[in-house]
Amino acid sequence: MYNEKSSYEKVKAARSNDRPMGGFYIRNMIDDFIELHGDRRFGDDGAIVSGVGYLDGIPVTVIAMERGDSIEERMRRNFGCPSPEGYRKALRLMKQAEKFSRPIICFIGSSGANCGIDAEKRGQGEAIAENLVEMMGIKAPIVSVVVGEGGSGGALALGVCDTAIMLEDAVYSVISPEGCASILWKDSAKAPEAADALKLTAGDLYNFGIVEYVIEEKDRTAEEICSALKKCIKKEIAKKQALTIDELLDGRYNKFRKIGNCE
Amino acid sequence: MSSVKEVLGNLGLLDYFAEKRTCKKCGAELPYPAFRNNNMVCPSCGAYQRMNAEERISLVVDKDTFIETNANMESKNIIGFPEYSAKLKKAKKDSSLKEAVVCGTGEIGGQKCALFIMDSSFMMGSMGTVVGEKITRLFEMATENNLPVVGFTTSGGARMQEGIYSLMQMAKVSGAVHRHSESGNLYIAVLTDPTTGGITASFAMQGDITIAEPKALIGFAGQRVIEQTTGEKLPKGFQRAEFMLEHGFVDIIEERKRLKYTLTRLLELHSR
């Protein structure tokens, strides 16, 4: 099922400049998308694109990390690294989705949360923490898809969900392989070894039971991948919509509760 | 008449008085009891030294009331990470702990509560599956028994040697915090030096009330990483407790000598 790339080749593929990010999936999967801006607290984070639209006729809320294409756009979107106001915008729209009983789709692809003085001043840690705790209680189905690099806490802040999906070449890790190698072995050139050791590929996470589905990429165009992904999301949303709210929230709790259960 | 040394020897306290500690700030080298009897604050310069779990418990928990839970849970090399098994072994030996958090129940000023106390002497207090599991179980137990949770954080963040499992502990604990909160129970987070990374981005910042120790380092991204990434010079006092208070992320900065008193008052006010 999985292609022959090494872990670090997958990391590079996940980061690749021409790999489609959240915006691509919105354009190709969501009809009549209307972008909704701002966190109502501080500002509007370009690294998170969010709004409402239809998934084959079903109204949905979509929250996506986006790094942009041109250099100007990338600067504006901070290379896809969300700031606290991005996570707060995401939470605002999730609560709105809850109010209108709309399923939520999150697209994850970022090297991590914005790392900077201003982000710390505005509570980067608190913003992520708030999403983790609040998403556990959002009374609407949440499907999260890792489409690129799932970089640590900044990715997980959109990753508390009922169903987790990864694209075959996406990665999801507690730390970047470079960061891991430089901390442990004082040598970021050992990133390929760290990538192997971290077990961060879609196949690894599927085997761990942390993601429920892996969408194959090999020999498929981006549009074909998108269409396979859409089918998977639709099926999952339908399944989750059939549940009572208690069943939905218990399922979400237990999905994470069982990870790393100890004797 | 026996000498002081003999008396201490007979009481088995000779090592306790012989052990020296060096203040990490001013470098003063004093016997351990000089620090211990001063709440692990340097008697010479007033700098806060990091407390281990045992010292922390004796600071805030009423004598002989602490009952540890899940004391024997130990980490395994869950993803077969290189050198991790040896590191765990060494951490256990060096810290005399089984993992980076101690959990249990106890009384603070006569108020029963569930407690977790992280300990940075075990792999910098990093969170792997056992730390996540112990804290999750503690919140679940507290929800079931309608107990407030008082938690002391100190951690470098998620433990990279357990890969994605460590990251997912942030979500797992958050789930248990959510249920505890929904049940109407109080959670007080006490942030101590240092509280960073995935701990700040999860249960350290999920308390109903957030207390910090003076000058404690509290933040998400590491200081060196921020400097390297942005090329900017960090402002004075960046990511310290006082900075976090100023920016609205901490309710109270409390001195160690008043910490138990303040916790008692808050627990009393929320008693149900």
What are the structural domains of chain B? 1-49 (no CATH), 51-269 (3.90.226.10)
Q: Which of B170, B218, B249 sits opposite A156 (nearest CB)?
A: B170
Q: Is residue A1 part of a domain?
A: no
Q: How far is CA B112 from the centre of its chain?
A: 19
A123–B238 CB contact, under 8 Å: no
B5 pLDDT tier (thresholds 50, 70, 90)? confident
Average the pLDDT over B27-44 and give the result: 95
Query: Considering the domain boundaries, does residue A259 fall inside one?
Result: no
**Of residues B3 and A57, which shows the higher confidence score?**
A57
Taking Cα atoms as reference points, which of A66, A85, A84, A62 lies closest to residue A74?
A66
Question: Reduced to 3 states, what is the DSSP secondary structure of residue A99?
Answer: helix
The domain total for chain A is 1
Residue A191 lies in a domain: yes
Residue reference for tokens 């404690």: B216
Q: How many CA atoms lie within 13 A of A131 on its CB side?
A: 32
DSSP alpha helices (H): ranges in A30-151?
71-76, 84-99, 117-121, 124-135
**Strand A104-110, strand A142-151: pairing:** parallel
* Nearest neighbour of A117 by CB, restricted to B169, B174, B226: B226
The proportion of chain A whose per-residue pLDDT surpasses 90, expressed as a percent, equals: 97
DSSP one-letter code for B138? H
| A126 assigned to some structural domain | yes
Residues B221, A120: Cα–Cα separation, whole Å: 8
**Residue numbers in B near A132 (CB within 8 A):** 170-171, 174, 201-202, 206
Cα angle vertex B154, ends B151, B157, to 5°?
Answer: 110
C-alpha–C-alpha distance, residues A180 and A193, integer Å: 10
pLDDT digits (tens, 9 = 90+) for B198-208: 999 999 999 99
Please check whether residue B67 touches A, CB under 8 A.
no
Domain at A225, CATH number: 3.90.226.10
Torsion angle of C-alpha atoms A252, A257, A258, A260, degrees rounded to 10: 140
Q: What is the pLDDT of residues A105-131, one digit of tens each?
A: 999 999 999 999 999 999 999 999 999
- Residue B153: pLDDT above 80? yes
- Judged by a CB distance cut-off of 8 A, whether residue A29 touches chain B is no
pLDDT of amino acid A2:
59
8 A C-beta contact, residue A11 and residue A195: yes
Has residue A34 been placed in a domain? yes
For residue A190, which residues of chain B lie inside 8 Å, CB to CB? none
Subunit contact A262:B129, Cβ cutoff 8 A: yes
The arithmetic mean of pLDDT across residues A168-177, rounded, is 97
Rounded Cα distance between A259 and A197, Å, is 19
φ, ψ at A219 (rounded to 5°): 60, 25
At residue B261, the pLDDT reads: 98
Q: How confident is the model at residue B132 (pLDDT cuts 50, 70, 90)?
A: very high
* CA–CA gap between residue A39 and residue A25 (Å, rounded): 22
Mean pLDDT over B128-148 rounds to 98
Q: What is the pLDDT of residue B208?
A: 98
Question: In this model, does residue A1 exceed pLDDT 60?
Answer: no
Whether A125 and B132 lie within 8 Å, measured CB to CB = no
Domain hosting residue A130, numbered range = 7-250
Q: CB distance B165–A259 less than 8 Å?
A: yes
Between CA A42 and CA A29 the distance in angstroms is 30
Q: Quick one: pLDDT band at residue B14, thresholds 50, 70, 90?
A: confident
pLDDT bucket at A3, cuts 50 / 70 / 90: low
pLDDT in tens, A126-161: 999 999 999 999 999 999 999 999 999 999 999 999
CA distances for A56 relative to A30, A33, A224, B1, B237, angstroms:
8, 12, 16, 93, 52
Q: Is the pLDDT of residue A222 over 60?
A: yes
pLDDT greater than 90 at residue A262: no
At A250 the pLDDT is 98
Query: For residue A261, is pLDDT > 80?
Result: no
Mean pLDDT for B226-237 is 92
Q: Which of A41, A44, A63 is nearest to A52 (CA)?
A: A63
Give the number of other CB atoms < 10 A from CB of residue B191. Answer: 27
The reply to whether A263 falls in a domain is no
Q: What angle do CA A241, A246, A252 make, to 5 degrees?
A: 75
B window 145-164, beta carbon within 8 A of A: 158-160, 162-164
Q: Is residue A128 part of a domain?
A: yes
What is the tens place of the pLDDT at every residue in B157-199?
Answer: 999 999 999 999 999 999 999 999 999 999 999 999 999 999 9
How far is it, in rounded angstroms, from Cα A125 to Cα B250? 12
Which amino acid, one-letter code, is at B69? T
To the nearest whole Å, the CA of B255 is away from the closest chain A CA by: 23
Q: What mean pLDDT value characterizes chain A?
A: 96
Q: What is the mean pLDDT of chain B?
A: 95
Name the percent of chain B lying above pLDDT 90: 91
Side chain identity at residue B234, one-letter code: L
Of A156, A184, A193, the CB nearest to B167: A156
Closest CA to A252 of A162, A171, A189: A162
